[in-house]
Amino acid sequence: MSVKGSVAKTPAQRLLEVLGPVDKFPTDEEIGQFGMPSGEFMQDMLGPVAKAGIQTRLGPLEKIHVFWFAGMSCDGCTVSVTGAQAPSLESLLLGAHPGLPRIILHHAAVNVESGPSYLRPHEQALRGELDAPYAIVLEGSIADEVKALETGGYWAGHGEEPWGPDGQIRTVSANEWIARLASRAAATIAIGTCATWGGIPASHGNPTGSMSLMDFLGKDYRSEFGLPVVNIPGCAPIGDNFTETVASILYFLQGFGPLPEFDELGRPAWLFGETVHRHCVRGAYYEEGTYAETFGDPECLVEIGCWGPVVNCNITSRGAINHQGGCMNAGGACIGCTMPGFPDKFTPFYKTPPGSMLSTAASRILGSFVRPLRQFTNEDLNREVRWDVHGDNPSGWAREKLEPGLVATIGHKFYTKMRRSTDRGKGEVEPWGKRKEWTEKEEPGAEAKLQRKVQRQD
């Protein structure tokens, strides 16, 4: 138990205390010919095409390694990031962006190296022998490996090393790698709600002791370049949110710009500063007080469980992938998946959030006045001025539609008067379209006059 005023150890420090230091690493002979040689894929195979051109030599970094770890995860973050478009993962791996270093990704689902060969760059990073700086990315939450060790097990393994008693091979958890590598990482990034806040594995019950990366490394954690943990939440997160943030941080590390703005929870402020509601495609339904009763209805989803008005997330403006889809666009209500309180503070899902009742009641009352007025004006704006003059609509589609009655005509005229009340030229010139068309009825001989005029011009 921590005593007030004393400096409590972080979970990462406690884990390393239990595991102790490591100094034995497998030799090339011990690794042998197992699988593809280390560095073969990302580093060597992509090398000729990704060879840093002049564009990536503008800054001090020609390349940067990224170690991707998975804790208590569903791999949804990996799926999101591999589908990112702006910028795409491929373009980052190929160093295709002017000024950005090429990324050498070490990811168990993407690389083709395996076993000890896959782990070799991790070991080099640990020994300080890597040929470039490195960053750490975590998807999934950090389960309490100290708890697992009590029964000789582990929660999330990430390879094996000869770090057991007397050099025995033992499983190394993702947490252990992070605890050992974090202090010398250029940046440490948590992706997805599990890694950023704990998420579903850390929800009520939580038998694994799951926590976020921030909780694991502690408040005082700073990367080698002075950054606290960067958090990009979402379940699953928007892939572009991750790649864009990585690109922004890399521009900073290259010296091309200031550190991008992060909020007090380490979220990219430009991505998470707004609520879902403010950019929602259904926002106007909320304002007019009309609400969906069931999924599939086009109106605002708040009464069937949408938390959008109080949730920080940019999916309504960014879309899920390639600016397409996203919860409300696809018919889903917001369940707050980007938020630190998710999921416990948002359950039960798909029930009216209690806080929304006051505002929906107010919108309903206001909407009952505003909607008919808007519809009234909308009908007027759907008519050419010429049709008003003639009292007729030439569209064959409108055969069955009656012309506006006396009340509507007076109302529309009154509206037009209001609209033109600030027009300084009012009364002096007839606005375009106000002329009556010449007709034989209104001006006998007009047709013949027009024909003579046309002949003269010929």
For ligand SF4, the binding residues (CB under 6 A) are: 234, 276-277, 280, 282-283, 286, 300-302, 306, 308-309, 311, 313, 315, 327-328, 334-338
Q: In the bound complex, what is the minimum distance in angstroms from residue 330's beta carbon to ligand SF4?
A: 9
Closer Cβ to ligand SF4, 126 or 276, answer by number: 276
Quick one: DSSP state of residue 115? H
Closer Cβ to ligand SF4, 126 or 301, answer by number: 301
Q: What are the two backbone dihedrals, phi and then psi, of residue 353, each rounded to the nearest 5 degrees?
A: -60, 130
Q: In the bound complex, what is the minimum distance in angstroms from residue 296's beta carbon to ligand SF4?
A: 13
Exposure class string for 43-62: b at 16+ Cβ within 10 A, else e: beebeeebebeeebeebebe
Closer Cβ to ligand SF4, 187 or 276, answer by number: 276
Closer Cβ to ligand SF4, 224 or 274, answer by number: 274
Closer Cβ to ligand SF4, 136 or 302, answer by number: 302
Q: In the bound complex, what is the minimum distance in angstroms from residue 198's beta carbon to ligand SF4?
A: 16
Q: In the bound complex, what is the minimum distance in angstroms from residue 274's beta carbon to ligand SF4?
A: 11
Please give the residue whose beta carbon sits closest to ligand SF4 in the complex: 308
Q: In the bound complex, what is the minimum distance in angstroms from residue 311's beta carbon to ligand SF4?
A: 5
Closer Cβ to ligand SF4, 97 or 371, answer by number: 371
Closer Cβ to ligand SF4, 53 or 341, answer by number: 341
**Strands across the sheet containing 188-191:** 102-106, 63-70, 134-139, 188-191, 230-232
Whether omega before 343 lies within 30 degrees of 0, making that bond cis, reads yes
Q: In the bound complex, what is the minimum distance in angstroms from residue 231's beta carbon to ligand SF4?
A: 14
Closer Cβ to ligand SF4, 266 or 309, answer by number: 309
AA identity, residue 430: E
Instruction: Give 256-322 as a DSSP string.
Output: SSPPPPB-TTS-BHHHHSSBTGGG-TTHHHHHTT-B-SSBTBSSB-GGGT--GGG-B--HHHHTTBT
Chain mean position to CA 163: 39
CA distance 25 to 403: 87
How far CA 443 is from CA of 387, 446, 448, 455, in Å, comes to 19, 6, 11, 20
- Classify residue 370 as exposed, middle or buried by CB count within 10 Å of its CB (0-12, 13-18, 19+): middle
**In the chain, how long is the greatest CA-to-CA distance?**
114
Closer Cβ to ligand SF4, 228 or 308, answer by number: 308
Q: In the bound complex, what is the minimum distance in angstroms from residue 61's beta carbon to ligand SF4?
A: 32
Q: In the bound complex, what is the minimum distance in angstroms from residue 302's beta carbon to ligand SF4?
A: 4
Looking at the DSSP assignment, which residues form a beta bridge with residue 269?
A: none
Instruction: Give 342-411 as a DSSP string.
Output: TTGGGPSTTS--TTHHHHHHHHHHHHHHHHHHHHHHHHHHTS-HHHHHHT----GGGTTSPPP-HHHHHH
SS3 57: helix
Q: In the bound complex, what is the minimum distance in angstroms from residue 426's beta carbon to ligand SF4?
A: 39
